[in-house]
Structure 1
Amino acid sequence: METPYFEIPCVILCGGKSSRMGEDKALLPFSNYPTLSQFQYERLKPFFKEIYLSSKTDKFNFEKNLILDKENIHSPMVALKNIFETLKNEDKIFIITVDTPFVKIETIEKIINNSQEYSITVAKTEKTHNLCGLFHKSCLSFINKMLEEDIHKVGFLLKNSATKELQFEDEDEFLNMNNKDEYLKAKSIIS
């Protein structure tokens, strides 16, 4: 099988508060990498035109492209706005969170290949994975409107945009490390 290559950038979201984890999950060791963020960055880098980390600060100890989010509020909507304003020449951007390290390249390829007619195309299993998908820059005006009205829910953006939820069966592929138990489960899967 030919290795896919996507002519779009990928942005890994690393700016969350990690309050349920109790420490910054982007900086937790993972697999044979010193941090989860470096694991995700190196894992996805060969498949995209460019790859970036989105964060509040440069807390990373490796060579990377960084999109700094200077807003005081921790909000994925603020991050999305900042990403589209920084990468203003890009029509489409693949967005993924740092804490979902098992999303397969084939899954990403399927999302990208099924995104043509939509503003947003995201993965769905039993639940919708709001921040694992392709976002088109046409979303930016609605994101700005949402932020003016102090609305920060990604689900609200999806409901009010031309969104495609693409069905996948493997729930474990979308394991999201929000707490210590999920982190330990992910570490046991990767080892």
Structure 2
Amino acid sequence: MPENTFPLPCVIFAGGKSSRMGRNKALLPFDGFATLAEYQYARLFPLFDATFISVKTTEGYPERLPYLPDDPSITDSAPTAGFITAFRSLGAERIFALSVDTPFVDAAVIRALLSHDSDELDAVIARTEGGTHPLCGIYHRSLLARFETMAATGDHKLGRMLSERRVRYVDFDEEQLFSNLNHLHEYEAALKRVDKTT
């Protein structure tokens, strides 16, 4: 696949609390990489105009990666802060957002989402039978003001916000592509799954 296939920046969201994992999942080793954050960056970087990692703080992360640290005035650990920083810092009209703990979302998924995007929309979001995947989708700058309001009021429910906006949901059949590594057993299962494919 040629480099820079997708003409927008990618933002990997790694600023969550990882409370169910009990440690920062973005810093767990994965598939030969020292951290999951590095794994995600390495595989997504060739596909986009630019790729960044959204973090609460860069403490503990490898120095060589491009980060978008949250605005320190937003103290909550929520994607809201990451979206605000991304749109303010990058100046992009739209970004592709992906959670750091979804290592199986591939280029075919991204291409499908982009094929459904248009200027009339605020977002294009992946959906499976198990539900929607708000941190796998395309977000437009038209949402920045709404994100700023959410941060100011402490309301960080992405799903509810999306239900009120111009959003197109794209359905996918393969649930495993969107597996989240929220718990230790899910992380261990993902490691075994990667081992079988390499």
Scaled to the shorter chain, the TM-score interval is over 0.9
Shift of 1:150: 2.4
Question: Residue in 2 aligned with 1:82?
Answer: 85
Question: CA 1:167 to 1:3, structure 2 compared with 1: closer, same or farther past 3 Å?
Answer: farther
Which of 124, 127, 131 is 1:124 aligned to? Answer: 127
- Cα distance in 2 for residues equivalent to 1:2 and 1:77: 32
Indicate conservation of the 8 Å contact 1:21/1:179, yes or no: yes
Q: TM-score, normalised by structure 1?
A: 0.95
Equivalent pairs counted in the alignment come to: 190
Q: CA–CA distance in 1 between the matches of 2:153 and 2:53?
A: 27
Query: Which whole-Å CA distance do the structure 2 matches of 1:182 and 1:168 have between them?
Result: 21
Contact 2:52–2:68 at 8 Å: present in 1 too?
Answer: yes
Q: C-alpha separation between the residues in 2 aligned to 1:123 and 1:95?
A: 11
| Aligned mates of 1:123, 1:97 — CA distance in 2 | 12
Match among 177, 183, 187 for residue 183 of structure 1: 187
CA distance in 2, matches of 1:152, 1:10: 21
Check whether the contact 2:3–2:48 (CA below 8 A) recurs between aligned residues. no
Moved >3 Å (runs of 4+): 1-4
**CA deviation digits over 1:88-144, x for unaligned, max 9?**
x21010000000000011110110121113111010002100110000000011112
Which position in structure 1 is the counterpart of 2:66? 65
Distance 2:116 2:155 in 1: 28
User: In the TM superposition, what are the counterparts of 1:158-169 in structure 2 within 5 Å?
Assistant: 158-169=162-173
Q: Which moved more, 1:27-36 or 1:146-155?
A: 146-155
5+ residue gaps, structure 1, are none
2:34 is paired with a residue whose SS is coil
Q: Residue 38 of structure 1 contacts residue 62 of structure 1 at CA under 8 Å; is this kept in 2?
A: no
The separation in 2 between residues aligned to 1:49 and 1:109, in whole angstroms, is 14
Q: Equivalent residues in 2 for 1:23-172 (5 A)?
A: 23-58=23-58, 59-69=60-70, 70=72, 71-87=74-90, 89-116=91-118, 117-126=120-129, 127-172=131-176
Taking structure 2 as the reference length, what is the TM-score of the superposition?
A: 0.91
RMSD across aligned positions (CA) = 1.4
SS of 2:121's partner is coil
Contact 1:4–1:109 (CA under 8 A) maintained in structure 2: no
Query: Which deviations, in whole Å up to 9, do the C-alpha atoms of 1:48-98 show, x marking residues without a partner?
Result: 0000001011132152211011232111112211211111x2101000000
Letter in 2 for 1:160: E
